C-alpha cells in the first residue's frame, strides 16, 4: 500500500439522541445523504450488519469496507484499497467519536473532520 500511516481521533458534541446518531451511521439511506459526495455500492441493505462488505468512492478512489462490528453503541469498519486500516465509531447521548487509522495517500484527518461536521449539520435537521 502506498501512502503514509495516519491516525486521528475526533469526538464532538451533537444536539441529537443516541438513537438518532445510531440511525445516521447504520442506516444506508441516511449516511448516503450526509456523506455526499462520497458514493456507495448499489444494493446496500437498509441497515449495516456485521460481516457486510461494500465499496465507497471518493472521486476515483475506491475504499472497501468490511463491517467488523455493528452494535447499539458502536460501528467498526476494516478498510482496504484506498485506505488500508480501520474506522471505529462510538456514540451516546449527544456525542459521537470517530477513530481512524490507516495507510493512505488521502488526507485522512481532513476527510474525517469534514465528515463529522457534515454529520453534525445533518442532525441539526
* Confidence category of residue 2, pLDDT binned at 50, 70, 90: confident
Q: Could you tell me the three cell numbers for 59?
A: 472521486
Q: What is the DSSP letter of 53?
A: E
Q: What is the pLDDT of residues 37-69, one digit of tens each?
A: 999 999 999 999 999 999 999 999 999 999 999
Query: Quick one: pLDDT at residue 104?
Result: 96
Residues 6+ apart with CB under 8 A from 91: 18, 21, 22, 25, 73, 74, 97
CATH topology of domain 4-124: Alpha-D-Glucose-1,6-Bisphosphate; Chain A, domain 4 (3.30.530)
Cis peptide before 79 (omega within 30 of 0): no
Amino acid at each position: 500500500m502506498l501512502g503514509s500511516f495516519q491516525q486521528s481521533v475526533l469526538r464532538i458534541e451533537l444536539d441529537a439522541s443516541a438513537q438518532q446518531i445510531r440511525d445516521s451511521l447504520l442506516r444506508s439511506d441516511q449516511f448516503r445523504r450526509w456523506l455526499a459526495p462520497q458514493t456507495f455500492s448499489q444494493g446496500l441493505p437498509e441497515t449495516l450488519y456485521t460481516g457486510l462488505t461494500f465499496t465507497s468512492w471518493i472521486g476515483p478512489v475506491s475504499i472497501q469496507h468490511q463491517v467488523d462490528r455493528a452494535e447499539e453503541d458502536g460501528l467498526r469498519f476494516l478498510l482496504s484499497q484506498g485506505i488500508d486500516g480501520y474506522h471505529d465509531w462510538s456514540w451516546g447521548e449527544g456525542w459521537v467519536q470517530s477513530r481512524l487509522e490507516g495507510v493512505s495517500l488521502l488526507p485522512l484527518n481532513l476527510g474525517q473532520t469534514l465528515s463529522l461536521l457534515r454529520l453534525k449539520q445533518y442532525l441539526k435537521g
